[in-house]
A and B are shown apart, each in its own frame.
Chain A
Amino acid sequence: MTRFFARRVAQAMLLLVVVSAGVFALAALAPGDYFAELRSDPRVDPAAIETLRARYGLDRPLAVRYGVWLGEAVRGDLGVSLAYNMPVTELLAPRAGKSLELAATAWVLGWILSLALAVGAAVRPGGWMDRTTGWLVSGLLVLPEVLLAPVLALVAARTGILRLGGFELALLALTPGVAPVLLRHGRAALKEAAGAAYVEAARARGIAGRRLWLVYIFPAAANPLISLFGMSFAGVLSGSLVVEAVTGWPGMGPLFLDSIAGRDFYVVVAVTLMMAALLAAGNLAADAMLYALDPRLRRPQ
């Protein structure tokens, strides 16, 4: 057990190194850098742009830049934002808190709603709940947060029911985007489990109601749901970045999108690393749960 986790944590660290190297490589591939924007100002001398680039080390080879960054990152210094001229950690800390607050709430809410609806649908296949959730999934899939958020923001601004930039509006825009994937999988897994032969057998033995669900159906449906659980949080967080930018929630969404477009390199690296870490943590948690649920997964090392 301990060994399993030690190995996984080591893998996660390695993952972060690979991801950071990947971002460096990709960013070098994308044309233009942060100071390219100055090129569109008729009054700025190209030499000034070169000085600025040199000041931030953008003129050095990629490998050197990565090496320097990695050395400092290990000591907790994730570099400086080119736009804000401020340490990235300082820049991100207050915003990341806001993003996590929003994403976590939407995530929990999304899971509760989806599971409740999925159970409702699975209890009576073909019943009204089943059919409604089918429509709901389709409806929500067509309105992912990219499209839903602007509509909600417009309604909020015109009616004044919800405050633009408020938590409720952002939550309302984000949660529906979380739900369909969970609902779709949850519904499928539960229906599959509810229809399995040994559940039929249990039913035949007169086991019904809560006991049937808790003892027979849920454990059987748990596997895909747990896998999904692990990676869903990082997904919600990346969805929240878009929602934040549209609804005005002061998380790291607007900053991240601006940083990508503006090639504010170290900010992009830091946010990406954070997402990767959350993803790795989620998957690790999911694997731990699978491990706990099924001793047979403990493969020989």
Chain B
Amino acid sequence: MTRGGGWKWAAGVLAGLYAAVLGAGYLAPYDAAEQHREAPLVAPQAVHFEGGRLVVADAISGRKVAVRWFSGGHLFGVEAPAVYFPLGSDAFGRDQFSRMLYGGRISLMAAVLGALVSLGVGLAAGLLSALGPVWLDALLMRAGEVCLALPWLYLLLGVRAFLPLALEPDTVFVLFVLLAGMLGWARPARLFRGLGLSLKQSGYVEAARGFGASRWYVARRHMLGELKGVLGTQGALLVPQFLLAEVTLSMFGLGINEPGVSWGTMLDVVREPAMLAMHPWMALPAMLLAPVIFCFQLCADAMAG
């Protein structure tokens, strides 16, 4: 299979994923916050095929119940009071599968958003730095170093202190992703600057100047070609970085708050060895993240090529 086919396939998967998380209300059997306190930490449950029907074990009583389709406004589920957790349940008896779908809404959106902001600011700063006057170059690059070196956690904690306590969970999170995105510009900026300098060195810019404005399109074409490569590569690195940023943010109370859910908050359990050893399926979201990130990579590669 060639690369060309690969990326289309990957884009298809991603599109499907975005559709799935947007349709979580229908696809997920439960609400993300719904607690079934009688059935905490249930392992993923197998589905059996019996008498022409799909049958599962009730997570509370263990009795066999039939899977119902298209009922109660959900794609599938079992009749209450029985409960069924395809990917297991968390410590409060909340359905992991439903939480993954709902959690993807914020995670997938915020990650891309954060990456875009970082890239945008980084691109502008990098090119200005490379093509602009020397003093601007020095100023921007040193500013970038300051940004990379400072413990921004303090800033985030400080900003949190000034915000009112009762904020919608999503608002807080989007706010911080934007902030993190803006603060994350320094690394890409340096790369774009390097690229800008090499473009200059290749002579296109001088040539364009020499030949007059009509030749700008050559530079633009070449520039865009090479820029796309770095943009793709950086984007492919930044998206997963922002997907995981909320793990750290929520450690300090800056992430998504209960009852909101995101993949980052679900991954928090991975840091707990006891949880990992006793209930390894709780790390399932991490396993599923790998293919998602691979799809992002393939798309980025296609963009770069």
Contact residues of A with B, CB < 8 Å?
Answer: 11, 14-15, 18-19, 22-23, 26-27, 29-31, 125-126, 134-135, 137-139, 141-144, 146-147, 150-151, 153-154, 157-158, 180-181, 184-185, 188, 192, 223-224, 226-228, 230-231, 234, 260, 268, 272, 275-276, 279-280, 283, 290, 294, 296-297, 299, 301
Residue B208, interface by CB 8 Å: no
A192, B198: Cα distance in complex, Å: 14
Candidate in A138, A146, A153, A184 with the most chain B CB atoms within 10 angstroms: A138
- A15 touching B148, Cβ below 8 Å: no
**Contact present for B2 and A154 (CB under 8 Å):** no
B52 at the interface (CB under 8 A from A): no
| B residues near A30, Cβ cutoff 8 Å | 153-155, 157-158, 161
Establish whether residues B190 and A227, one from each chain, have CB atoms under 8 Å apart when the complex forms: yes
Given A151-B276, A234-B148, output 5 extra A-B contacts at Cβ < 8 Å: A23-B150, A26-B154, A141-B237, A272-B151, A283-B141
Distance to closest chain B CB from A270 (angstroms): 12
**Are B138 and A260 within 8 A (Cβ)?**
no
CA distance A144 to B239 in the complex (A): 13
Asked whether A299 lies within 8 Å of B194 as measured between CB atoms, the reply is no
Q: Are B154 and A29 in contact (CB under 8 A)?
A: yes
Cβ-closest chain A residue relative to B148: A279
Interface centre among B154, B193, B286, B298 (most CB of A within 10 A): B154
Nearest Cβ on chain A to B124's Cβ, whole angstroms: 17
Pick 16 A–B contacts, CB within 8 A, sort by A.
A15-B145, A19-B145, A26-B150, A26-B154, A134-B297, A138-B294, A144-B244, A147-B286, A150-B276, A151-B270, A157-B273, A188-B229, A224-B191, A224-B194, A227-B191, A231-B187
Q: Is B289 an interface residue (CB 8 A)?
A: yes
Residues of chain B with a CB closer than 8 A to A231's CB = 148, 187, 190
Distance in angstroms between the alpha carbons of A280 and B151 in the assembled complex: 16
| B residues less than 8 Å from A234 (CB atoms) | 148-149
Q: Is the CB of B194 within 8 A of A290?
A: yes
Give residues of chain B (269-289) contacting chain A, Cβ–Cβ below 8 Å: 270-273, 276-277, 286, 289
B145 touches A23 (CB 8 A): no
Provide the residues of chain A in CB contact with B232, threshold 8 Å: 188
B286/A143 in contact, CB under 8 A: yes
CA distance A280 to B201 in the complex (A): 24
B191 surroundings in chain A (CB, below 8 A): 185, 224, 227-228
Evaluate contact between A150 and B273: CB separation under 8 angstroms: yes
Is B197 a contact of A297 with CB atoms below 8 Å? Answer: yes
> In the docked arrangement, what's the CA distance between A5 and B263, Å?
46
- Which residues of chain B are within 8 angstroms of A157 by Cβ–Cβ distance? 273
B286-A192 in contact (CB<8A): no
**B230 in contact (CB, < 8 A):** yes
B218 CB to closest chain A CB, in angstroms?
A: 14
* Contact in complex: A280, B145 (CB < 8 Å): yes
- In the complex, how many residues of chain B place their beta carbon closer than 8 angstroms to a beta carbon of chain A? 59
CB closest residue in chain A, given B297:
A138
| CA distance in complex: A81, B264 (Å) | 34
B150 near A223 (CB under 8 angstroms)?
no
The verdict on A290 contacting B145 (CB below 8 Å), with A19-B150, A147-B286, A188-B229 known, is no
- Known contacts A19-B150, A280-B145; is-contact A184 B237 (Cβ 8 Å): yes
Q: Say if the beta carbon of B127 comes within 8 Å of chain A.
A: no
A26: which of B148, B155, B236, B289 is its contact (CB, 8 Å)?
B155
Q: How far is the CB of A268 from chain B (nearest CB, A)?
A: 6
Tell whether, in the assembled complex, residue A146 and residue B158 are in contact, meaning their CB atoms are under 8 Å apart.
Answer: no
Instruction: State the CA gap A125–B301 with chains docked (Å).
Output: 12
The verdict on B290 contacting chain A, using a C-beta distance below 8 Å, is: yes
Interface centre among B145, B195, B290 (most CB of A within 10 A): B145
Instruction: Assess A22 versus B150: contact at CB under 8 Å? Given A223-B198, A231-B190, A297-B197.
Output: yes
Report the bound CA distance from A59 to B138 in whole Å: 37
Write the chain B residue with the least CB distance to A27. B154
Distance from B108 Cβ to chain A, minimum over Cβ atoms (Å): 14
- The reply to whether A224 and B244 form a contact with Cβ atoms under 8 Å apart is no
Residues of chain B within 8 A (CB-CB) of A185 are 191, 233
The residue of chain B having its C-beta at the shortest distance from the C-beta of A195 within the complex is: B305
Q: CB distance B247 to A268 under 8 Å?
A: no
Q: Which 9 A-B pairs have the closest CB atoms?
A: A29-B158, A276-B149, A138-B294, A227-B194, A26-B154, A30-B157, A154-B273, A30-B154, A141-B240
CB distance from B254 to the nearest CB of A (A): 12
Residues of A within 8 A of B154 (CB): 23, 26-27, 29-30, 260
Nearest opposing residue in chain B for A234, CB measure: B148
A147 touches B229 (CB 8 A): no
| Candidates B149, B201, B291, B298; contact of A294 at CB < 8 Å | B201
Q: Which residues of A contact B271 (CB under 8 A)?
A: 146-147, 150
**How far, in angstroms, from A228 to B267 measured CA to CA in the complex?**
29
- Chain B residues numbered 181-197 whose CB sits less than 8 Å from any CB in chain A: 187, 190-191, 193-195, 197
Question: Could you say which of B151, B191, B291, B297 has the most chain A C-beta atoms within 10 Å of its C-beta?
Answer: B151
Give 1 or 0 for each of B290-305: 1 = CB within 8 Å of chain A CB.
1101100110010010
Given contacts A126-B3, A150-B270, are A227 and B146 in contact (CB under 8 A)?
Answer: no
CB distance from A259 to the nearest CB of B (A): 10
Closest chain A CB from B278 CB (angstroms): 11
Cβ-defined contact, A153 with B293, below 8 A: no
